[in-house]
Structure 1
Amino acid sequence: MENKRILIVGSTSASLINFRGDFIKSLVKNGFEVFAAAPEFDKKTYDQLIDYGATPIEFKLQRTGMNPIKDAKTILELKKIISNNSIDLVFPYTVKPVIYGSIAAKLCKVSVISLITGLGFAFTGLTLKARVLQRLNEFLYKISIRKNKVIVFQNSDDYNLFLKRRIIKKKNKVEFVNGSGVNLDKYRYRINNNMSDNISFLFIARLIQEKGIGLYIDAAEVLKKKYPNAIFHVIGYVDESPSAIKLEKLNALHTEGIIIYHGPQKNIADHLYKRDVFVLPTYYREGVPRSILEALSVGLPIITTNTPGCKETVKKDKNGFLIKPQNLEELITAMEYFITNKAKIKEMGIHSRKYAEEKFDVDIINNKLISIVKSALRH
C-alpha cells in the first residue's frame, strides 16, 4: 500500500520549521509522505524541509486583513495543490490556513484535521475592529471546519468558546494537545546559581501591544529607578500592525539603558540560558505560547497572564506567577519579587523544567498528533 500523503498548511514558511519541524520529522519517520505549504519560502527553509523528507510548496496568502478576491484565489490555489498531489489528509494550523485550507479540502472531498493554535487579536474583543473581525471569523470558521474529521485545540477555553458561539457542535470530534510542545534536548535545562543584583528579565514576542510589550516597558521604567542593576531584555520584530510599538521608541529606550533591545533573533536558546526570569504579559488570545514552553524547558520562572493558553503554563507559586491582563501593578509586583527573592529563581526554575518534561515534551505532543492522524485516516 502506498504511503498516505499529508499536506501541512501554515501561514509562514518559518513556522513550518520553528513550530512544526519536529512534527514533520515524526510524520516522515512514521511512513507518511509529507507536503508542507506556506507563502514565500527562503532557500534555507526550503532546503531544511527537503532535509526533513518533506516536499515544500509555495502558495500566496494575505496574512492580515480581508480581501475577498485574494482570499478566493488562495482557496483555489490550495485546492489545486491538494488535487495535483493526490493529498489524503490536510493538516492546517493558524487562522487563515485553517479556514481556507478546510474549504479547499472540502471542495476536493479530502479529510481535514485542523489545529486551533489560538484565536488572536480578533477574539480579544478589546476594540470595535476586533469585535467586527470576531463575528466575521466566527462565520468563516463555522462554514469551514464543522465537517472536519477532527478539530484539535490547545486549550479548553478556546473549545468552550467555539461551543458557546455555536461555531462547532458537541457532536464534532475534538482532541486536545498541550501546545506545539518543546524539544527538551534543544532547550536544555541549566541550573541557575545567579545570586548577584544583576537579575535579568526577558520578553520575547511580536512587538505589538496585545502581546504586552508596552506593559513590560512601563514595568522596566519603574523598576530600573528602584533597582538600577536589574536588566530588561527584549527580543522580537516590529511589524506593520497598527498596535506595533515604534522602532524609534525601542531604540531610544535602549540608548537610555531602560531595556536592551536585541531585535529579532534566531538563537533563542542562547538568550534563554543567559537570563533569569521570562515575562510575557500578553492579553492576545494565545493557544499555548511557544516562547513560554522554551523558557520552561530551559528552567526559567514564568510571569504571564491568567488568560487562555498562558494559564496552563504556570503552577501558582511553584514555577512563577499569573497576573491579571493589562495590570501594571501586578506585573511590577511579580517582577520585583524575583529581584528581592533571588533564591526563588533557581527553585522555581527547577519546577519549570519538571513541568515541561511532564506536560509539554514535543515527543508526547507529536505522538498524540500522529495517533490522531492515523485514526482519522483509518476511519
Structure 2
Amino acid sequence: MTFLLIASFPDSILHFRGPLLDALLARGLSVHVAAPGLDAGSQWYEPLRTRGITVHDIPLRRTGMNPLADLRTLIDLWRLMRKIRPDYVLAYTIKPVIYGSLAATFAGVPRRYALITGLGYAFQGDGGQSRGLWRVLARSLYRLALRRVNKALFQNPDDEALFRTLDILPATTSSFVVNGSGVDVAAYAVVPLPASPRFLLIARLLGDKGVREYAEAARHIRSKYPHIAFTLVGWIDENPDAIAQHELDGWLADGVVEYAGRLSDVRPAIAASSVYVLPSYREGTPRTVLEAMAMGRAVITTDAPGCRETVVDGDNGFLVPVKSVSGLVAAMQQFIDDPALAGRMGGRSRAIAETKYDVHKVNQSMLEQMGVA
C-alpha cells in the first residue's frame, strides 16, 4: 500500500508530520511526500530519504492567484499520482488540499483525505478588493475539491462548523475533528522557569497572528517595567498580510521586543520564557502553543477558533479578546503581580498536553479516521 502526503511548506513535513510518517512506515506502507522546495539540494531531502520516504519536488506557489501556475501544479500532481499509484492521499494547507484532492480524483486514487489546518489569509480580516477576490475564489475551489474527498479532517470544531455553514463542505462528505498536529511530549520536556517574567511569541510575522498587538502590549508593559523582556521569534512571510520590515525595525529600535529571527529549534526560546503569548485572530490548532504547553509554560491567547481549545481560562493561562491590546496587558500584568502564577499554570499546561495533545494519540486518531490503523 502506498501513501502520499502533499504539503506546501517543506520544513513542516518532518516538524509537524514526522511522527505520522513514522507511524505509516511502521505499518508497512510505502510513504511518499510531495512539496515545493524538495529538490535533491534542499536541506530536507536527505533527512526524509534516510527515513525511508520517497521525496517529490513539485511546482507550487503557496500564495497568490496565478491560474497558469496553479494549473501546472494540478497537472504535475496528477502525473505524479498516475506514476506512483497511491492508495491514500492526504493533503494539508489550502493549495495542496485543493489541487491535491482534485488531482487524486482525476488519477483515480481510492482514498482521498484533506486536513484543514487553519483558514488562512482568504478567510480572515476585512481585507480589501484583493483579499475579497481571493476569498471568493478559495471558497469556490475548496467546495469543488472537498466534494471529492472521502473525509475532511479539521483541527477545531469552529472551522468544521464554518465549512458546513458556508456549504464549502457538503453534507455528503464526512468530517472529523482531531486535536491539532499534536506534540511530542518527550521531545518537548518541562524545563525550569527563568527567574523573572519573560514573554514569548513565535509566529510568522503576519498581522493576523496578532504580532502588532503583542508589540503594543510589550511597549505598554515595558514603559512601567523595563526589566521585563519580550521575545519575538519568526520571519517576515511573503503573505500579503505580512508585517512590514520598517515596523519590525521600529520595534527593535525602540527596544520594545528582542528579535530572534527564524529558529529551526524553538525549544531554547521556550525554555528562556515564562509565559507564551499568541494573540492570533484564528488558528487551526496552534502548534507553538502545544510546544509551549508541553514544556510547562502558561499561555495567553485569544478567545478565537483554534486558540480557545488550548487554554482553560484561569487554569493553564488566560483567554483575551481578539485584537485587544488592553486584554493582553491585563493578562500579562497578572503574571507580574503574582510571580508564582506562571509555575502553577505551566504545570496545568503540561498535564493538558500529555492528556489531550500527545502526538501519538493524535496520530492514532488520524490513522483510524483514514482506515490505516
The two structures have a TM-score, normalised by structure 2, of 0.96
- For the residues of structure 2 that align with 1:134 and 1:254, how far apart are their CA atoms? 34
Name the aligned partner's letter for residue 176 of structure 1.
V
- For the residues of structure 2 that align with 1:375 and 1:39, how far apart are their CA atoms? 26
Q: What do residues 355-374 of structure 1 show as CA deviations (whole Å, max 9, x unaligned)?
A: 10111000001111122233
Aligned to 1:200: 198
Name the aligned partner's letter for residue 73 of structure 1.
R
Aligned to 1:116: 116
SS in 1 for 2:89: strand
Q: What do residues 124-157 of structure 1 show as CA deviations (whole Å, max 9, x unaligned)?
A: 1422333332221111011111121111111111
CA-based RMSD: 1.5
1:174 and 2:175 aligned: yes
**Aligned-residue offset at 1:255:** 4.1
- For the residues of structure 2 that align with 1:244 and 1:373, how far apart are their CA atoms? 35
**Aligned-residue offset at 1:59:** 0.4
Name the aligned partner's letter for residue 118 of structure 1.
G
**Aligned-residue offset at 1:241:** 3.1
1:139 and 2:140 aligned: yes
Q: How many residues align?
A: 369
Aligned to 1:160: 161
SS in 1 for 2:241: coil
Asked if structure 2 preserves the Cα contact closer than 8 Å seen for 1:210 and 1:282, the reply is yes
- For the residues of structure 1 that align with 2:7 and 2:142, how far apart are their CA atoms? 16
Aligned to 2:94: 95
Q: Which moved more, 1:42-51 or 1:298-307?
A: 42-51
The counterpart of 1:277, out of the listed 275, 278, 282, is 275
**Aligned-residue offset at 1:49:** 0.7
Aligned to 1:324: 321
SS in 1 for 2:227: coil
Aligned to 2:308: 311
The counterpart of 1:224, out of the listed 216, 222, 225, is 222
Q: Which has the higher helix share?
A: 1
- For the residues of structure 1 that align with 2:250 and 2:68, how far apart are their CA atoms? 41
SS in 2 for 1:25: helix
Asked if structure 2 preserves the Cα contact closer than 8 Å seen for 1:251 and 1:261, the reply is no
Q: What do residues 78-114 of structure 1 show as CA deviations (whole Å, max 9, x unaligned)?
A: 0011111121111100100000000000101112111
Name the aligned partner's letter for residue 126 of structure 2.
L
- For the residues of structure 2 that align with 1:207 and 1:363, how far apart are their CA atoms? 30
* Map 1:1-379 → 2, pairs under 5 A: 4-41=1-38, 42-110=41-109, 111-128=111-128, 129-192=130-193, 194=194, 196=195, 198-283=196-281, 285-374=282-371
- For the residues of structure 2 that align with 1:274 and 1:239, how far apart are their CA atoms? 25
SS in 1 for 2:370: helix
Q: What do residues 303-333 of structure 1 show as CA deviations (whole Å, max 9, x unaligned)?
A: 1111111000001100011111111111111
Name the aligned partner's letter for residue 241 of structure 1.
N
Asked if structure 1 preserves the Cα contact closer than 8 Å seen for 2:192 and 2:271, the reply is no
- For the residues of structure 1 that align with 2:98 and 2:250, how far apart are their CA atoms? 40
Asked if structure 2 preserves the Cα contact closer than 8 Å seen for 1:187 and 1:297, the reply is yes
- For the residues of structure 1 that align with 2:139 and 2:350, how far apart are their CA atoms? 37
- For the residues of structure 1 that align with 2:167 and 2:251, how far apart are their CA atoms? 45
Name the aligned partner's letter for residue 117 of structure 1.
T
- For the residues of structure 2 that align with 1:358 and 1:308, how far apart are their CA atoms? 20
- For the residues of structure 2 that align with 1:61 and 1:375, how far apart are their CA atoms? 28
Q: Which runs of 5+ in 2 are unaligned?
A: none
- For the residues of structure 2 that align with 1:191 and 1:264, how far apart are their CA atoms? 24
SS in 2 for 1:119: coil
Q: Which moved more, 1:116-125 or 1:75-84?
A: 116-125
Q: Percent identity?
A: 37
Asked if structure 2 preserves the Cα contact closer than 8 Å seen for 1:177 and 1:365, the reply is yes
SS in 1 for 2:62: coil
- For the residues of structure 1 that align with 2:43 and 2:372, how far apart are their CA atoms? 33
Runs of 4+ in 1 over 4 A off after TM superposition: none
Asked if structure 2 preserves the Cα contact closer than 8 Å seen for 1:38 and 1:58, the reply is yes
Asked if structure 1 preserves the Cα contact closer than 8 Å seen for 2:296 and 2:349, the reply is yes
Asked if structure 1 preserves the Cα contact closer than 8 Å seen for 2:102 and 2:148, the reply is no
- For the residues of structure 2 that align with 1:315 and 1:355, how far apart are their CA atoms? 10
Aligned CA distance change for structure 1 residues 125 and 106 (closer, same or farther; 3 Å)? same
